[in-house]
Structure 1
Amino acid sequence: MGQTEFEPWNDPQAKPLIQFRGVTKRFGDFTAIDNQSFDIFEQEFFALLGPSGCGKTTMMRMLAGFETPTEGTILLGGQDIAPIPPNRRAVNMMFQSYALFPHLTVWENIAFGLKRDRLDKESIKARVAEMLKLTRLEQFASRKPHQISGGQRQRVALARSLAKAPKLLLLDEPLGALDAKLRQDTQFELMDIQEKTGTTFVIVTHDQEEAMTVASRVAVMDHGRIVQADTPARIYEQPNSVYVADFIGEVTIIDGTATPEGDGYEITHAEGLPPLFVKTDKSFARGQACHLAIRPEKVAISAEKPDGRRNMLRGRILDIAYLGNISTYLVELPNGKIVKAQTANTRRLANRPFTWEDEVWLSWSDTAAVLLEG
């Protein structure tokens, strides 16, 4: 599902599957969710992203029916779900621990919920076969959970959760127990399965890369509020606050004051250093405090002074992080500020132009940085 064809949130006619309306959740004096209203659409892969304690799990537990809102309503398909007990909701939840039955085979684990719903034998058989095929577990059907790998157990839990064809599947840190390489493979599998089934997925994660990889939209949370909910590309390229810019990916934040100049703003940021320039459609008052957020891959690093760029800073290489395909340079400006620059490693190590302590020039285009309010 390319981003171009699937954007129901931009369609005023599209009816959301889930609607949060002024939802607040308090535990005693503590406000876990603070008056939130937002929509999730059918067939979306929606990620709730944020640090521990930001409220993302509470949000999910309310959808599952393990918690009820203190104020406000949650609608599923236009119906208030508060009075509906968890087992009667068209919602299933996959737990971080997978919660598989150790004494049952993979086949029996997947069939468990269908048997409880008293489906006939043939229907159960057909549905389990379909789920085994979807999650590529056919050859493991007769094994017990302890006889298969962590990644396979994860797929069994997914197959079991999808067997009852829920309208909504909730995934709580589903890849937390997997190692890095397996996590990456499983992320693509999840996207593939979500697309094939058309089920709406809501994933809770604190892993920004995971959220950015799998989701159609990411909701970045802080202290019980969604700070920004948007496509991964927009969250990365057009964060609406320093918090979001800083939370997602690598970034350098330069504090300064804005002065209107032509089609953008000049940013005075340090005594004795030339001002920076940024094009933006946001409006700032003269002398207003602001923050310039610049991604390291948008910062060019060169030995010679670059021509024809308004944004140029001289500095010294303090540190180099070598990550195989890319190198990140930490460059210290004369005022002690550190700016990150990133280059793709197209040459072998021995032929790289820069090393520690080198004096270098950093530069970027007028549209590369994002100007955020102070």
Structure 2
Amino acid sequence: MAQTVFEPWNDPDAKPIIQFKNVTKRFGDFTAIDDLTIDIYEREFFALLGPSGCGKTTMMRMLAGFETPTDGTILLQGKDIAPISPNKRAVNMMFQSYALFPHLSVWENIAFGLKRDKMAKDQIAARVDEMLRLTRLEKFARRKPHQISGGQRQRVALARSLAKAPKLLLLDEPLGALDKKLRQDTQFELMDIQEKTGTTFVIVTHDQEEAMTVASRVAVMDHGKIIQVATPAEIYETPNSTYVADFIGDVNLIEGRAEQDGDKVRVAWAEGQPAIVGTTTRQFDKGQTCHFAIRPEKVAITATKPENIANAVKGKIHDIAYLGNISTYHVALPNGHMIKAQAANNRRLSRRSFTWEDDVWLSWTDTAGVLLER
């Protein structure tokens, strides 16, 4: 049986769980969120991604009830949440610091919110045990936070946040304190837990790799505005601007003047270099400034000029970044322009074909890059 794809944002009948409607948030003269309208759907793992100060944490704090919008409304399941106090919302927030009680055991930390809500004792025990199983912490139930690792503390905080079965869980840089290997493992655990509970997760992160790994959709933010909202694959392959292309992953950005013929655009970009040929559905005026964005892994590097390919330029290897599985070559063109190309290292070092100062050809097809207006 074919698995149905989870894409409620493409379903006109799907009702969003969260709606920001023309939301603005000002702190004095500073506008943190600027007229923002966005829908987030049930069971989504939604990532807010952007540099420090772009407004992503302010959005999250408004959802949690720690800040109120200056203008506009935020709806949770169709109801305006502004009048509802933070502790009455079906929303829970997990902080970067985890904020665990050091004197309480793991079990008691998870039970804390349930006890405060006056839940029956046997129900509390059943719920805490369920959360311990979900986060694989059964063996650590009696330990105090200082007796377990950072990754385990992170899971305790998650179990405590999910214990009250919130409709929405907000995660503010939740993996910031973990080392790279543990972060990657924990990202998959988070996705697994989110899928099992069916809770809507909204995560704030400045780590693009994390957003691309965990999220069903990513909102890329800058200066209080959302620049693009799309699936990780769409954001990577078809960014809507140079800002998004540059923020996500590695990219070559080349500015030039467009000359369009049907779906083909020739970009005049450097004296003495052939025009770059790209394919697009956008319309460009003759001579309009445009940007050609191409990922390094889409640029082939060869010793001789390739035949029958839309784009080929000659240059000299200026730098090599060896990353184990791949190498990134920084190739200087005669006009001083630098283009990055990536190649998989499927041979041992002694058999590598290119080194510093080698003359090489870079080539790519007319559909390998994206033509952008801004």
Q: Is the TM-score greater than 0.5? A: yes
How far apart are residue 261 of structure 1 and its match?
A: 2.8
How far apart are residue 196 of structure 1 and its match?
A: 0.3
Q: Contact (CA 8 Å) 1:24, 1:34: kept in 2 or not?
A: yes
Q: Which residue of 2 aligns with 1:78?
A: 78
Q: Contact (CA 8 Å) 1:289, 1:373: kept in 2 or not?
A: yes
CA deviation map 1:124-181 (0-9, x unaligned)? 0000000000000000000000000000000000000000000000000000000000
Q: Which residue of 2 aligns with 1:233?
A: 233
Give distance in 1, aligned partners of 2:181 and 2:363: 34
Q: 1:343 corresponds to which letter in structure 2? A: A
Q: How many equivalent pairs are there?
A: 373
Q: CA RMSD in A?
A: 1.0
Q: Which residue of 2 aligns with 1:265?
A: 265
Alignment of 1:97-136 (within 5 A): 97-136=97-136
How far apart are residue 3 of structure 1 and its match?
A: 9.6
Q: Secondary structure, in 3 states, of the residue corresponding to 2:21?
A: strand
Q: Which residue of 2 aligns with 1:309?
A: 309
Q: Which residue of 2 aligns with 1:251?
A: 251
Give distance in 1, aligned partners of 2:29 and 2:262: 50
Q: 1:257 corresponds to which letter in structure 2? A: R
Give distance in 1, aligned partners of 2:203 and 2:269: 39
Q: 2:239 corresponds to which letter in structure 1? A: P
Give distance in 1, aligned partners of 2:248 and 2:325: 20
- The structure-2 alpha-carbon separation of the partners of 1:292 and 1:4, relative to structure 1 and needing over 3 Å to count, comes to farther
Give distance in 2, aligned partners of 1:153 and 1:136: 12
Give distance in 2, aligned partners of 1:323 and 1:270: 31
Q: Secondary structure, in 3 states, of the residue corresponding to 2:236?
A: helix
How far apart are residue 4 of structure 1 and its match?
A: 5.9
Q: 1:311 corresponds to which letter in structure 2? A: N
Q: Which residue of 1 aligns with 2:27?
A: 27
Q: Which residue of 2 aligns with 1:275?
A: 275
CA deviation map 1:272-312 (0-9, x unaligned)? 11111000001100000000000000000000100001211
Q: Which residue of 2 aligns with 1:149?
A: 149
Q: Which residue of 1 aligns with 2:285?
A: 285
Q: Which residue of 2 aligns with 1:49?
A: 49
Q: Contact (CA 8 Å) 1:260, 1:285: kept in 2 or not?
A: yes
Give distance in 2, aligned partners of 1:309 and 1:253: 20
Give distance in 2, aligned partners of 1:52 and 1:31: 14
Q: 1:74 corresponds to which letter in structure 2? A: I
Give distance in 1, aligned partners of 2:195 and 2:324: 32
Q: 1:269 corresponds to which letter in structure 2? A: W
Q: Which residue of 2 aligns with 1:335?
A: 335
Q: Which residue of 1 aligns with 2:137?
A: 137
Q: Which residue of 1 aligns with 2:65?
A: 65
Give distance in 2, aligned partners of 1:3 and 1:306: 42
Give distance in 1, aligned partners of 2:166 and 2:310: 54
Q: Which residue of 1 aligns with 2:352?
A: 352
Q: 2:45 corresponds to which letter in structure 1? A: F
Give distance in 2, aligned partners of 1:359 and 1:229: 41
Give distance in 1, aligned partners of 2:326 and 2:190: 27
CA deviation map 1:341-363 (0-9, x unaligned)? 00111101110100000000000
Give distance in 2, aligned partners of 1:50 and 1:324: 28
* Residue 294 (1) aligns with residue 294 (2): yes
- The structure-2 alpha-carbon separation of the partners of 1:258 and 1:4, relative to structure 1 and needing over 3 Å to count, comes to farther
Normalised by the length of structure 1, the TM-score is: 0.99
Give distance in 2, aligned partners of 1:224 and 1:350: 50
Give distance in 2, aligned partners of 1:222 and 1:365: 31
Q: Secondary structure, in 3 states, of the residue corresponding to 2:130?
A: helix
Alignment of 1:146-225 (within 5 A): 146-225=146-225
Give distance in 2, aligned partners of 1:166 and 1:123: 16
Q: Contact (CA 8 Å) 1:3, 1:216: kept in 2 or not?
A: no
Q: Secondary structure, in 3 states, of the residue corresponding to 1:301?
A: strand
> Quick one: percent identity of the two aligned structures?
76
Q: Contact (CA 8 Å) 1:219, 1:226: kept in 2 or not?
A: yes
Give distance in 2, aligned partners of 1:263 and 1:32: 39
Unaligned runs of 5+ in 1: none
How far apart are residue 263 of structure 1 and its match?
A: 2.8
Give distance in 1, aligned partners of 2:334 and 2:133: 60
CA deviation map 1:95-134 (0-9, x unaligned)? 0000000000000000000000000111000000000000
> Structure 1 stretch 252-261 or stretch 152-161: which is displaced more?
252-261
Give distance in 2, aligned partners of 1:118 and 1:19: 31
Q: Which residue of 1 aligns with 2:91?
A: 91
